[in-house]
Structure 1
Amino acid sequence: MKLKRNTVFDCSVIDISKVHSESGNITVVENNKNIPFAVERIYYLYDVPGGETRGGHAHYELEQYIIAASGSFDVIIDDGINRKTVSLNRPNLALHIVPGLWRELNNFSSGSISMVLASHVFEESDYIRDYNSFLEYRK
């Protein structure tokens, strides 16, 4: 597969809106409306022990919205030249990660939940799990 030539500057934090009411808030995510792809898979990261890092891979095709459903954590995105750290701590904000970038999640607060909306179902062939291999593909 050919790796996308995106950079960390192609990723952005998106306000996916919040509707207030006296009984709480609601945030809605709708395919191809406030998210630029159809969601094919949703998964959660939770109970991550202090000091642990998750992720540590890149994707050829997959796009993601990463949301701090509860608590906070950092997402490090890397295009082989530039690195950028984005702190997520509000459930109405999503980090849009485009294909072709290395990502790691760390600095999880106690009780945090990372919700990931993915554009594709799981396919091992879409992953680059070795950082040196990722750098070779980026050349």
Structure 2
Amino acid sequence: MTDYPAPHLIHFPKLGAPDIGYISVCDPLQNPLPFVVQRVFWTYYTPESIVRGRHAHHRTEQVLVAVAGRLTVITELATGELQTFRLEHPNEGLYVPPNAWHTIQHSHTAVQLVLASGPFDEVDYIRDYDEFRQQWALRN
């Protein structure tokens, strides 16, 4: 079994100034992610009453970024460890390993950017919470 880091924040460089604006860069040579990005997608116009995510992955690693608005992300590891992350700075991302169940609530104006380690594969998703607990408990 591959060991993955626990969910944690990643800080991207914030270059610029208030009078000209900012740019953040993810450069594999200077601030590499813990994986090679193979898929990028974004979510937006999500009503605040909707909880997105509600799944884990067998293999896919992700970094979630609130490029606009706010995301509240709750992660749970098979050990039962819960963490709550509030993403509201576009130069900050949340690393989510394959073994983490995660839920996401968006503010009305939120735009979430996701950097993923692999292409979409429905078989990689664990969408049933009880199955998640069973799958990862067996691996620990």
Are 1:29 and 2:38 counterparts?
no
Partners of 2:125 and 2:28 in 1: how far apart? 23
For normalisation by structure 1, the TM-score amounts to 0.88
Figure out how many residues of one structure are paired with residues of the other and give that number: 134
Q: Which residue of 2 aligns with 1:124?
A: 122
Per-residue deviation, residues 32-73 of structure 1 (Å, max 9, x unmatched): 643121111111111001210001111011111100000101
1:5 CA drift (Å): 6.3
For normalisation by structure 2, the TM-score amounts to 0.88
SS of structure 2 residue aligned to 1:36: coil
1:75 CA drift (Å): 0.6
More deviation, 52-61/23-32: 23-32
Aligned-pair identity in percent equals 32
Q: Which residue of 2 aligns with 1:76?
A: 74
Q: Which residue of 2 aligns with 1:46?
A: 44
Q: Which residue of 1 aligns with 2:98?
A: 99
In 2, are the aligned partners of 1:39 and 1:118 still within 8 Å (CA)? yes
Partners of 2:109 and 2:20 in 1: how far apart? 23
Letter in 1 for 2:66: A
In 2, are the aligned partners of 1:31 and 1:39 still within 8 Å (CA)? no
Q: Which runs of 4+ in 1 moved over 2 A?
A: 30-34
Gapped runs of 5+ residues in structure 1? none
Partners of 1:30 and 1:55 in 2: how far apart? 27
Partners of 2:127 and 2:48 in 1: how far apart? 22
Letter in 2 for 1:30: D
Gapped runs of 5+ residues in structure 2? none
In 2, are the aligned partners of 1:74 and 1:88 still within 8 Å (CA)? yes
SS of structure 2 residue aligned to 1:10: coil
